[in-house]
Structure 1
Amino acid sequence: MVATVSATSGIARKAAKVSLDEALLAEAEVLHIDISQAAEAGLASAVAAKRGERWLAENREALESSNAYVQEHGLPLAQYRGF
C-alpha cells in the first residue's frame, strides 16, 4: 500500500482493501454515497468508541474511588454551589 497526501486537506491517505456487503454497496452507489468518506467516518466512530472504552477501563479504579468519596463525604465545596 502506498500512502498519498491529499492536496486539499493535507492529510496522508493510504489505500486499504475492504470487503463489503454487495447489497449495501450497491445501495450506497445508487444513493451517491462516497464510500471512502462513509468508511472513514465509520472507522473514526469505532476508534473513538474503543478509545472511550479503554479510557474507562484504565481509569475505573480512580472513578470508583472518587465516587465512593463523594458518596461518603458529599461533594467538595458543595456549600458554594449556586444551584
Structure 2
Amino acid sequence: MPSLSSSQSAPKRATNVTLTESLLSEAKALHINISQAAEAGVALAIKRKRTELWLKENKEAIDSSNAFVEEHGLPLAKYRMF
C-alpha cells in the first residue's frame, strides 16, 4: 500500500479542481497554497476511507474479539500492573 506522505521528490501531476469562488478568494486572501491544501485534503480523505473499509472488512473479527473479552475478560488481566 503506497504511503500518503507527501515527498518533495514524489512526482506530481497537474489536475483541475473546481472550488466555489468564495472559498478560493478566502484561501488566496489567507495566502493558502491551494495545491498543498488540496493534496492534504485528498490524503486525509484517503486515510479516512481506508480506515472505514478496514473496519468494515474486519468487523466480524473485531466483534468476535470484543464478545470474547466481554464474556471472559482480558486473557492476561491478572498480570496487569495498572
TM (normalized to structure 2)? 0.89
- 1:19-66 CA-partner distances (Å, limit 9, x unpaired): 101111011111110000000111111110000000000000000000
Q: Which runs of 5+ in 1 are unaligned?
A: 1-7
- Aligned residue number for residue 32 of structure 2: 33
Q: C-alpha separation between the residues in 2 aligned to 1:45 and 1:33?
A: 17
RMSD: 1.1
Q: Which of these two proteins has the greater Rg computed from alpha carbons?
A: 1
Q: Percent identity?
A: 59
Q: Which runs of 5+ in 2 are unaligned?
A: 1-6
- Aligned residue number for residue 79 of structure 1: 78
User: Which AA in structure 2 matches 1:26?
Assistant: S
Larger RCO (CA within 8 A; separation ≥ 6): 2
User: Which AA in structure 1 matches 2:22?
Assistant: A
**Matched position secondary structure for 1:14:** coil
- Aligned residue number for residue 17 of structure 1: 16
User: Which AA in structure 1 matches 2:15?
Assistant: A
- Aligned residue number for residue 57 of structure 1: 56
TM (normalized to structure 1)? 0.88
Q: C-alpha separation between the residues in 1 aligned to 2:77 and 2:26?
A: 55
Q: How many residues align?
A: 76
More strand by share: 1
